[in-house]
Every structure is written in structure tokens, then in C-alpha cells.
Structure 1
Amino acid sequence: MRTDKPKSPERDGVCNPRPAWAYTGRSASSTTFPRNAWERGVTSRQSLHSILISSLILTVFTLGIGDAHSANKKHSAVDSGVKTVSLWSYAGANAAEYVALKASVDRYNAGRHGYRIEALPSFSFKGYDEQVDDAAETGALPCLLQADASLLYAMAWSGYLQPIDQLMPKPLLDDVLPSILAQGRYDGRLYSLGQFDSGLALWGNRRLLDKAGVRIPTLQAPWTLAEFEQVLDKLSKLPGVPAAIDMGAFSGSGEFYPYAYSPILQGFGGDLIERGSYRSAKGVLDGPQSVAAMNHFQQWLKKGWFRSEVVADDFVNGKVALSWFGHWQYPWYSEELGKDLVLLPMPDFGHGIKTGMGSWSWAISSTCKEPDGAADFLNFLMSEREILRMTAVNGAVPSRRSVLARSPLYGERGPLRLYAQQLDAGLAIPRPQTPAYRMISKVFSTAVAAIIAGADVQTELSRAAALIDQDIIENRGYSND
């Protein structure tokens, strides 16, 4: 196990994109992500979709708690010879995801598996990432813990995690979405699995799109770069529509920027770093393709097609026709727009459709004394039943194909099926699988913020690339030797 710690920047408190992101009508001055749209407590007129979602969550969650309660009445989970497996979650004790997780823990403990799971929510005042960092340095990590990209690769490189590919059954891995497997791999080994993924695409207001006379794109025939820019120009000229699209530019310079905007780089043929050896960002992040991508991005802003000060509810109020966001907006958007809401694929900027992906996943620490027990519980969490229960609560994309087929949101007739199709088709690009991702995320976000403010694109991307390369050099190339 390594004793040296990556010289990475401190995190800014913004965690990995996940369903906990959603707008609540904050102004551009807010730099923190608002509460989960699935927890918004909408009091206005409910759409049919919202009623169905609420009923599903209530039914699944109530039955799940009932199962665990009934099983616990039959026999105690604290028996002699039962081994304890500790678990940490990024979610706070009152968060819907943690409550659902705790119900899964109770069901597992009631089943006499030979192990007892002891779960703890995030409790550190420093933030979950720092809590995990501190525990790793002192050898106090739990057996199971949740990690996002900024944690996972750095911890795997440091030797704090153990590979799980030999611990998980092959039929399970064969059913898991390729995006989940890609997210969990580092240096050729699988280190994590997640119950859910995220989706990034375009939300559209069909009424405004029809009014502007623009074509509705499909996954098979997406908008090209030229067509996309023509669409933005037409939409921005509609009366009462001050901007064509909400790009989320006011969301702050946190993890949203690399999640939402790196697909633009990749769509132009650029990227955040070269992905062969992950040794340099120079010539890639600041190469001609990436510079062209962010020049177009900046021009969209200068032409008034999107605004950095746009407020959160412009899309639902019909002030913009498109929204560059993910699945977590569905409850709010469908509530407000009803049948006018349409989900559209990402544009093809010249190198095929590229989209974002990734969310929190489960890993097993290298100091875990009961890796078989941790793997057994992870296998339980990855069962179809438990994934359905969790995604009914958080609305995220189920991580298994068999569960997607049964999902009312992402199944064949589901309103969010496009997200699943993008992920299953391999159109989603995982964040760079390197411990340097912490630095990559931080400096790219800073560069984007400066570009939005009007700074020179080449200058900002070159500065970011230099900082990334410096971090890699200072950490001896993040070599595994």
C-alpha cells in the first residue's frame, strides 16, 4: 500500500453529478447545487407522470420497509458468530437515498447471511471526501464505502481499495451497463459498482420548437453542429424568448462544468487529457479541437443564445426552449410543461454523440477484514429488486439492463428511455480514470468560468493543461510501479 498521498487540490464541496442536483429557482449568484427534484415537494398541479412516480416510490419503499420489519420480527440479526461489515454512505442520515439504503441494510441483516452490515451516513463537518481521506490516512476506512470519480481513482492508486472483479459473479457483471463498468475500472481492474448512473441530454419545449419550425432530432439523426447553431439562432428570435437554451452556466465552477461541458470537447474531437497513459493534458485540453469547442461555446454566449445569469426556472416558464441538463430535472420539468416536454439526444459536433455519465458507486477498502461479506452485501445491493427500490427513490438510471427493462421511467415506453439508450450504446464518456482527475476537474472548471466571463479560450485552456501536467509530474506520473 502506498504511503504517499496524491498532491491534489482540496475539493470545493461540490460532489459528483447525481440525482441530487436540481433547480429550485435560485439566481445566478448561487454556487451550490439545489435540492433533489425528487424531494422538491411540488405543491402545484400534478401531472400524470408525477402522480405515477410518487405512487411508485411510496409503494416500493413502504413494502421494502415492511419486508425488513417482518423479517426482523421473526429472528434477531445479532447472532453469535455473525461477522460485522462496516459501511459508509456519502448521503446524510435524512437523505432519501440513505433512508432507502438503510432499508436495504435491514433487509439484508434480517436474512441471516452470516454477516451484519453496520451502516453510517455522512457525518463529517468537513465533507464526505475529507472524511474518507482522513480515514484512509489513519487506516480507519470501513469495509464498504461510496466513491465518485474524484475519490475512486486516487484511492485505488494509493492502495486504499481492493479490486472486486474476482468477487462479483460473472452473470451480474454481464448485465451491468458498460458505463458503470467503465466508471469503476482503474489500471485494468474493476474497483467499484454502482446501483445507478446519470444521464445528460437536451430537454426541449415542444411548443417553442414547433413555433420556430425546427426539426425534432433523434438518436439516429441528431442535430449536427451547423443545425444545432441554426436551431439556437431561430429559437433566440422567438418573441418572449430572451435566450434559446439554458446551459447551466450559472451553476458555479464545481463538478457540473466538467460533467456537462467535457462532452462538448469530446464531440469536437478534443478531451480533458490524453487517455492512452494519462500522462499529459498538453496538446489535448489546449489542442485545436478543444479550443474550437470552447470557442463555439463562448460564441453561443456572446450571440445571446444562452446567458450566464439565467435563472433556474426560465425553462419551465417558457423563457428558453432548450435545457442542457440531466435526468434529475424530469419531475420538475414534467410537472410544469406536461406534454410539451420532450427529451432530445445530444448533438453530434462532428465526432459522434458524446454525453456525460457517472454517479456514486460502491468500493471495498483494502483494509477490510471481511471482503467476502462486503462483496456479498454488494451483490445483494446490485440485485434487481434492490436497484429498483433505490432508483424508485432517487429517479436515477438503473445500472443493470434487466432492471432498465422493468423500469417505468427507463423501460421501452418510459419517458426517460433515451438516457438508457445513450448509456447502453456506449455514447457516454467516463471521466478520466486517473488520480489526476481531482486536479483536472478543478482547473477545467476554473477555465470554463473564465471563458464564460470573456477570457481568451486558448490562454485559459493552456493554463489549465499546464497545471494538470504539473500535478502529474509532482506525483511522479501517478505511476503504479
Structure 2
Amino acid sequence: MGVLLLVLGLSLTACVPDHGRDERLLPEAEQQRLEIWAHAGREEERRTLEAQVQRFQAERPEVRVDLTWIPEGSYNGQVQAAALADHLPDLLEFDGPYLYSYAWQGHLHPLDDLLAEDLRTDLLPSILAQGRYRDRLYGLGTFDSGLGLWANRARLESVGVRIPQGPGEAWSAETFHSVLKRLAQADPDGQVLDLKLNYTGEWFSYAFSPLLQSSGGDLVDRTPGGRASGTLDGPESVAAMTAVQSWIRQGLVDPNLDDAAFARGRVALAWGGHWNHPGYRAALGDDLLLLPLPRMGENMVTGQGSWQWGITRRAEDPELAMDLLTFLLRPDEVLAMSAANGGVPATRSAIRQSPAYGPEGPLHLFARQLDEGYARPRPRTPAYPVISDAFGRAFQDIRHGTDPAEALGRAARRIDRELQDNRYYPALAEDGA
């Protein structure tokens, strides 16, 4: 009954109105129909995608595209319900980490044979990495995300610290701690770092698992049949989270209850992403700097991943669905969506043309990190929602004083139970892997 109610609810989601359709379009009876679902995100994103669909239809009058918006908060639940009822669309948008459940369950059509080689070589490697599951490509995004360290140039220069010029010059853990201490000595309350502790949900895995990976640990052993125990609670991961806990214990981290610690000048450094740039730029002007995250080991690691598109197994014409996806990945279309939501353009050709992410742009570091191999996709397993929730709970415990080894050990055991209960997600027959 619950599934039925969700599916019925899905049919009530808003579709793109028909006003403004190109008069050159063929009568509906003579058109091919392409059904797509997208998350109802920011208004600018919705307007942009609607305009993109209209531009595609103007080029392809023989195609009718029906676009349905689904509320972001209930998106995964409604998609799962529709999948059980065999009611998925041709082209489906989903948040990156959910791809692996959909692919494992057999709901997605592999894209390897549909993706043109020139487009494949133009895509950022992070886009291809996120969309791959068991050596097959199932998803493609038109934008990616950027994660780094925002800094107040004047505050850094006032205490004479070295400013990294790229991901290869990231501060080591020891240097970063020294920077925090020097900044704290010149700060009235000694709180100089914003970790976005006011954020919730996926933020903690996205933002802080790169520290585990930089140290040589991870959320889970990524080899087939790999477990979390010995990796998430291994010495490298514990060391990384012990460092984070020490920043908090020493009073170097602002609790950021009002989400304004950096913009109002209470702190000199802020963990954050590409979405912070407009507000931070307005507050700091030319004093705003974008730096790589500190490295816990030999190399810096950063987060990646955002919404993607996939073609479902239910699609009557996968090639037609791929035509629309290819259209959305044209440089002008990628730049249009990047302008709407601030995300990192998914293709190198679009990045070169981007005022924000191009070689001279203020956000170029985000593009470099994704293109040069510093980004790590979140674990590509259907267990990811449990992995993320377990780590997020462990982070909160560590933040409030729990021994990192104890908190991470508890999280690892929970993840291992999930993996064991599902027999480590063996390949399904329809997966073809």
C-alpha cells in the first residue's frame, strides 16, 4: 500500500507547462515521446532545464519531451516506488551516490556503447568516475561539485603564513595546525576555523571523508567484498579524525550556529564548497581566497559528486534518450546550468569558456582538483546511504568528545552488518557484470 501511495503521489508532481512550445513541432500523434524526471531544486535550475528542453525540441520537432519535477526531499523514495511498479521514465536524474543502488537493482541502462568518444574525452574524469559501477558507465552529470578551504587573504598575510598556490602545495596536517594556532593568537576568541557544523546529512561524509583518504584510510575497503572494519576504524582514519577533534577541543573551531562565521569575519578559514562563493565574494571582495584542503598524508584529497542523469532499462529508445543527454552536455548548455547553480562545468571545453572556472577564474582550483585526480568518488556501493549515515553519526560523536577509535569502530561494525546482510551486493543477473 505504501508503494502504491508513493506512485500515486508521483503522478501529481508538476510537469513543464506547454506554453511557448515551438510552432514547428509536429502534432503529438506523430512525435516520439521522451519522458524525463528531475529533482525540483532551485528555481534557477528548474528554469534552465525547462529552457534546455525547449531548445532541444526546437532542434528535434519529431520529439516530445515530458519533464516531471519531483520534490528533492522525497526524490529517492518516489523513484524506488516507481521502480517497483515498473513506472520509471526514459531519462532519470538522481543524486550521485544513489546511482549504485539503481544500477545494482538493474534499473539503469549502461551508457558505454551510447557515449560518443569525443564527448567521453571531453568529460572531467570525476564525472566518469562517479557514474561508473562495476566497470560499466551508468550515469553522467552536466556539473560536478567543488570542495576546498575558503580563506581571508588579509588575515593570512597578517600572520605571515605561506599561501598554497594549487592542490600540489596543500598544507600538511602539521602546517595546517600551525596556521590555526598563529591565526588564533591574533584572534579575540581564538576561534578561526568554520567546519560548517551547522550543516546536516551528507555534508559530513562529503566534506571529511577526504581527510580519511588523504591519510591512507577510507570509509570502507573498496575492493570486492571489502569491509569497513580495519579501514574506517584503522589507524590512518583514526589519526585523521583525531586531528579534527583536536582542532575542536583546542577551541579553534567556531560552532557557526548562524551560518555566518566566515562572512562576518569571525574566522579566517572555512571548509566549504562552490555554493559558498557568491556570499563570500560579496562579503570579502578581493580578500577572498580559495585554497586546497589540508593533506593528512602525502597527497591532498577532495570531495566530488552531484546530480547525474541515467537512462533507465524501461526506455523504449535509449539512443534518443542519449541524444537529449548529449545535448545537455554541449558547452553552451553546460555553462547555462553552471551559471544557474554554480556547479563546476562537467566538460573541459565548457571549463575553458567559463569566467568562474576557466584558467583565470576565481574558482579554477575546483576544476583543477577534479581534472588532475585529486577528487575521490564516494564509495560506489548500494550500501552507501548506510555508510554515509554511520560516518555522519560518528563525526558528531567525535565532535562532542567520544574517542575517535570508539566512534569509528561502532560505525564500521554497523556498515559491516549492512554489507553482510546483503551478501556484499552480488552482481544480479540483469546487471551483466
Q: TM-score, normalised by structure 2?
A: 0.91
Partner of 1:86: 35
For the residues of structure 1 that align with 2:354 and 2:323, how far apart are their CA atoms? 24
CA drift of 1:238 comes to 1.3
2:154 to 197, 207, 213: 207
For the residues of structure 1 that align with 2:251 and 2:257, how far apart are their CA atoms? 11
Work out whether residues 150 and 289 of structure 2, in 8 Å CA contact, stay in contact via their aligned partners in 1: yes
CA drift of 1:79 comes to 4.6
Code of the residue aligned with 2:299 in structure 1: it is G
1:122 aligns with 2:70: yes
SS in 1 for 2:379: coil
Seq. identity, %: 43
Code of the residue aligned with 1:105 in structure 2: it is V
Partner of 1:315: 262
For the residues of structure 2 that align with 1:336 and 1:278, how far apart are their CA atoms? 48
Name the Cα RMSD after superposition: 1.7
Partner of 2:208: 261
Code of the residue aligned with 1:255 in structure 2: it is E
Partner of 2:59: 111
1:451 aligns with 2:401: no
CA drift of 1:305 comes to 1.2
Structure 2 unaligned regions, length at least 5: 1-18, 429-433
Per-residue CA deviations over 1:142-179 (Å, capped at 9, x if unaligned) read 11111123321001001011111111111001100000
Number of corresponding residues: 410
Per-residue CA deviations over 1:68-116 (Å, capped at 9, x if unaligned) read 95x814x135454321111011125x62111110111111112225322
For the residues of structure 2 that align with 1:241 and 1:333, how far apart are their CA atoms? 21
Q: Structure 1's 278 and 396: CA in aligned 2 closer, same or farther, altered over 3 A?
A: farther
Work out whether residues 198 and 358 of structure 1, in 8 Å CA contact, stay in contact via their aligned partners in 2: yes
Code of the residue aligned with 1:441 in structure 2: it is S
Code of the residue aligned with 1:361 in structure 2: it is Q
Work out whether residues 196 and 256 of structure 2, in 8 Å CA contact, stay in contact via their aligned partners in 1: no
2:129 to 176, 182, 207: 182
SS in 1 for 2:406: helix
Partner of 2:172: 224
For the residues of structure 1 that align with 2:113 and 2:55, how far apart are their CA atoms? 25
List, as ranges, runs of 4+ consecutive aligned residues in structure 1 with deviation greater than 2 Å.
76-81, 112-115, 239-242, 307-311
Per-residue CA deviations over 1:240-284 (Å, capped at 9, x if unaligned) read 3541110112213x1000000001111111100111115311100
For the residues of structure 2 that align with 1:309 and 1:331, how far apart are their CA atoms? 18
Partner of 2:385: 438
2:282 to 335, 347, 352: 335
2:330 to 358, 379, 383: 383
1:134 aligns with 2:84: no
2:300 to 345, 349, 353: 353
Code of the residue aligned with 1:82 in structure 2: it is Q
SS in 2 for 1:87: strand
Per-residue CA deviations over 1:190-219 (Å, capped at 9, x if unaligned) read 001010000001110011111122111122
CA drift of 1:435 comes to 0.6
1:273 aligns with 2:223: no
CA drift of 1:123 comes to 4.2
1:156 aligns with 2:103: yes
1:244 aligns with 2:192: yes
For the residues of structure 2 that align with 1:320 and 1:241, how far apart are their CA atoms? 10
Code of the residue aligned with 1:449 in structure 2: it is Q
